[in-house]
Amino acid sequence: MKIILLGAPGAGKGTQAEKICVHYNIPQISTGNIIREAMKNETPAGLKAKEFVNSGALVPDEVVIEMVNDRLKQDDCANGYILDGFPRTVPQAEALDQMGVQIDKVLDIEVADDVIMGRMTGRRVCSKCGATYHTEFNPAKDGVHCDKCGTELTIRKDDEPETVKARLQVYHEQTEPLKDYYQNKGNLVMVEGVGALDEITAKILKALEA
């Protein structure tokens, strides 16, 4: 089963990807890992990526695409894989098609923006011991200090409302058009990513088998 995973940041893709990988015994391939591995192994594309990373620039599409292509040819991908974080734009999806990669299902986990805002902006962390809390789902006893060590809880930059909003906007502008792209190809499946985690997983597996 060759799967592309779509969904907004905070839609719960990571958690569900792990369960899908176990179910089908396939690797999860995320762009971040591919770039790190290729640089570590000093593949031709990895060496190119290194130059961009070292100069603080984003790794350009053509280099990422080369790394993805290399990665999908490895033995552990023979029975399939789940691609997470790639393609992120329509041009990247077109590049994947041009490589001759045949995708079975494109799974889109749908969660409304306001639900994502609630999930992410409610997160609190203890900078001292690393404990994590959520103002609604897993609050600290007094709401302000870490239960374990008493340190005042803080909000990570990634979880600040402005940051989450900006990331959602980028998703809607650049990545969401992929839904239409794959809908037109006939392999898009959409699952609502709200509710108990196990129920979402069950819905996903059913949709993938349909």
CA-nearest of 24, 25, 5 to 15 is 5
Q: Report cis status (omega within 30 of 0) of the bond before 87.
A: yes
Question: Per CB under 5 A, does 149 bind Zn ion?
Answer: yes
Question: Per CB under 5 A, does 200 bind Zn ion?
Answer: no
Segment interacting with Zn ion, rule: CB under 5 A, options 3-11, 87-95, 145-153, 193-201: 145-153
Question: Per CB under 5 A, does 126 bind Zn ion?
Answer: yes
Q: How far is the CB of 141 from Zn ion (least distance, A)?
A: 12
Q: Which residues pair with 190 in a beta bridge?
A: 108
Q: How far is the CB of 122 from Zn ion (least distance, A)?
A: 18
Structural contact between residues 19 and 30, judged by C-beta atoms closer than 8 angstroms: no
Q: Which of 131, 155, 190, 194 binds Zn ion (CB under 5 A)?
A: 131
Segment interacting with Zn ion, rule: CB under 5 A, options 36-44, 67-75, 97-105, 129-137: 129-137
Question: Per CB under 5 A, does 140 bind Zn ion?
Answer: no
- Which of 17, 146 has the CB closer to Zn ion? 146
What are the residues whose beta carbons fall under 8 Å from the beta carbon of 81, sequence distance 6 or more?
Answer: 2, 3, 26, 27, 28, 29, 72
Instruction: Give the distance, in angstroms, between the CA of residue 166 and the centroid of all CA atoms in the same chain.
Output: 16
